[in-house]
Structure 1
Amino acid sequence: MPKTIKKIGVLTSGGDSPGMNAAIRSVVRTCAYHQVECVGIYRGYQGLIEGEFQPMNARSVKDIINKGGTILKSARSKDFMTPEGRKRAFDNLVAQNIDALVTIGGDGTFTGAIVFNQEYDFPVMGIPGTIDNDIFGTTHTLGFDTALNTVVDAIDKIRDTASSHNRLFFIEVMGRDVGHIALNTGIAGGAEEILIPEEDLGLDRLVESLNKSRKSGKSSSIVIVAEGDKIGKNIFQLKDYVDENMEGYDVRVSVLGHMQRGGSPSCFDRVLASRMGVKAVESLLEGKTNYMVGLLNSVMELTPLEKAIKGKSKINLELLRVSDIMST
């Protein structure tokens, strides 16, 4: 028989993403609804080790659903990677009478939760919070939709300048291992070319594609580049190559960087976070552990944490085809 859950801790870890606050709010209020105590843990696993705990109730999370970032702060913890650090974390949880943990973050966060569960048989539940959308077991991670809207808004503004000056812009977006942000925003922003880690376009084909666009009457172009794209060493090398192999373009680079992580979460991310928080808490109360909550076919489902981090989120092949057609 699973032990009765009377108090749940919640933390955010790794890179922040829009929707984390909405998820914290959902966890806290779901606990209140079920008359379970909730404790906020500041600075992720590092705060867990250092005992940075704060009791939370339904009023503790008012007016945060619309805010980006995370009120619980976030940090990467080298100490938690050691057995000694995890022992201190466990002792602190026991001292606070905390029975289960909700962790909000990405694959590093979930890896830590898996190890902790294996060592101490401590109930854990994961909520995927990362703008890259690179977690298996959910069609959308928290922050992905908001990041898309942020990037599209930036592309629209850059296109104004590109069109006014007949410029070619390389715009780098986040996506170290997957190209979800680049592919979706490239289509939505009307990009002439999209470079992602999953598809090796090649430098020669890139120049060929840009020349084709210019011959079709386009006087300016936008190329969206995922940071993990393998064509060149970096986006500036791409610029130099095009400068050397194409005439008539004034080539510029814009790296959007961490602005993609910030900002007020979209309606979609607020609703998603609210659903995920409810599912996470109620799953723990049902005796489930070592799972991640995710959105699959519009339904909240559970995926084993290990499968979530070892599985590979796949690029939508239909979107690749749509991109090819739209860039004609």
Structure 2
Amino acid sequence: MKIKKVAVLTSGGDSPGMNAGLRAVVRACAYHNLKCVGVFRGFEGLIEGDFKDLDARSVKNIINRGGTFLKSARSKGFFTKEGRQQAFNNLKKFEVDALVVIGGDGTFAGASVFNKEHDFPIVGLPGTIDNDINGTDYTIGYDTALNTVVEAIDKIRDTANSHNRLFLVEVMGRNAGDIALNAGIGAGAEEILIPEENLGKDRLLESLKRSKKSGKTSSIVVVAEGDQIGKNIFELAKYIEENLKEYEVRVTVLGHIQRGGAPSCFDRVLASRLGVGAIDALLRGERDVMIGIVHNKVTSVPFDEAIQGENELDTELIRVADITSV
């Protein structure tokens, strides 16, 4: 089937660089003389028929903006066969031949089910700050989130040094430790707690004791939100205070600040490359695939492979973190 019209949407959590990806998809369509429509509010908008025609000028001045101008939403309706049928009906009603989705593993899982049910061409771009998608070295928004975290920790360290305090800083990432590990190294953290490496409470206490003996008057511990040492970061802080009386512990949860802000140059370029790659893949006849980047080369990976597991954490980085935190 010859593709003449492409729809594009963003789904799940927003991430910096999604707008750059949308811009690239729309302009790649214009370059290849394809029509393009934007779908507002993700799969929910697909079910409700919330479509808008887009051209090259529709996406001007958005490459530098965080979030997504098409909005995003969780869609309970898309979990049902009836909802997916309504989405398919709307795509046919608007004469759409293929769909580009930008989001994370939940987005790809929904797109894969939809493709299997309706044999409809879908290509995905990995848009999530967590960097937890298999088959791509980087996801859109990850680099920006890293820079946001490092900048925040740099500011927190000023206060930690002024008051001889121990700060526990919780960062996003779900069950992946990429943000915590890389930001922790970049910000010079004394300890980094990640789900992939169960440090344990006793080893953490010993490490903090060594830091104190070595002459450190303040410490930063970066904690991935999925780390399992304590029930939550506040319980961990209480445990440290009870066992290390010399430490005055403070907790900072960075939360959704990590998702916002203008995307970094890296994320803008990455999203642009993947957006163009998505239209290239559709024109080659590919479907049910994610467009990723491996060793700086744009590639395509089946949705099933992309969502089956997470990228392996770089063990060299764990060693670097251990050595540089002495």
TM-score (norm 2): 1.00
In the alignment, which residue of structure 2 is the partner of 1:115? Answer: 113
Amino acid at match of 1:8: V
Matched, 1:178 2:173: no
Task: Give the Cα–Cα distance (whole angstroms) in 2 for the partners of residues 221 and 86 of structure 1.
Answer: 51
Q: What's the counterpart of residue 91 of structure 2? A: 93
Between the aligned partners of 2:310 and 2:167, the Cα distance in structure 1 is 30
- Partner amino acid, structure 2, of 1:91: N
Q: Please report how far the alpha carbon of residue 46 of structure 1 lies from its aligned counterpart in structure 2 after TM superposition.
A: 0.2
Q: Which residue is 1:165 aligned to?
A: 163
Q: Write the distance in 2 (CA, Å) between the matches of 1:311 and 1:170.
A: 29
Q: Could you tell me which residue of structure 1 aligns to residue 16 of structure 2?
A: 18
Per-residue deviation at 1:247? 1.8
- Paired letter, 2:251: V
Matched AA of 2:90: N
Aligned to 2:43, which of 45, 53, 69?
A: 45
Identity %: 66
Tell me the distance in 1 between the aligned counterparts of 2:280 and 2:147. Answer: 31
Q: Give unpaired runs (5+ residues) of structure 2.
A: none
- In the alignment, the residues of structure 1 paired with residue 25 and residue 116 of structure 2 have an alpha-carbon distance, to the nearest angstrom, of 23
Q: CA deviation at 1:286?
A: 1.1
User: Matched residue of 2:250: which SS?
Assistant: strand
Aligned equivalents of 2:2, 2:174: Cα separation in 1: 41
Question: How far apart are the structure 2 equivalents of 1:25 and 1:284?
Answer: 17
**Which residue is 1:296 aligned to?**
294
Residue from 251, 254, 257 that aligns with 2:255: 257
The residue aligned with 1:207 is 205
Q: What displacement does 1:75 show? A: 0.2
- 2: CA distance between counterparts of 1:297 and 1:189? 25
- Give the AA of the match of 2:29: C
Q: 1:194 aligns with which of 186, 192, 195?
A: 192
The residue number in structure 2 matching 1:281 is 279
Task: Tell me the SS of whatever aligns to 2:307.
Answer: helix
| C-alpha separation in 2, matches of 1:252 and 1:232 | 16
How many correspondences in the alignment?
A: 326
State the distance in 2 between where 1:146 and 1:25 align: 18
Alpha-carbon shift at residue 311 of structure 1 (Å): 2.6
Secondary structure of 2:8's aligned partner: strand
Query: Given residue 79 of structure 1, which amino acid in structure 2 is its aligned partner?
Result: G
Partner of 2:4: 6
RMSD of aligned residue pairs (Cα, Å): 0.4
Q: Offset at 1:285? A: 1.1
Distance 1:28 1:110 in 2: 20
User: SS in structure 1 opposite 2:134?
Assistant: coil
1:133 CA drift (Å): 0.1
Give the distance between the partners of 2:215 and 2:162, measured in 1 at CA.
15
User: In structure 2, which of residues 133, 136, 143 is the aligned counterpart of residue 135 of structure 1?
Assistant: 133
SS in 1 for 2:292: strand
2: distance between equivalents of 1:57 and 1:44? 19
Looking at structure 1, the residues matched to 12 and 275 of structure 2 have their Cα atoms a distance apart, in angstroms, of 18
The residue type paired with residue 122 of structure 1 is: F
Task: Give the match's secondary structure for 2:63.
Answer: coil
Alpha-carbon deviations, 1:165-212, whole Å to 9, x = none?
A: 000000000021110000000000000000000000000110100000
Deviations 1:61-105 (A, max 9, x none): 000000000000000000000000001000000000000000000
Secondary structure class of the residue paired with 1:140: coil
Name the residue aligned to 2:74: 76
Aligned with 1:109: secondary structure? helix
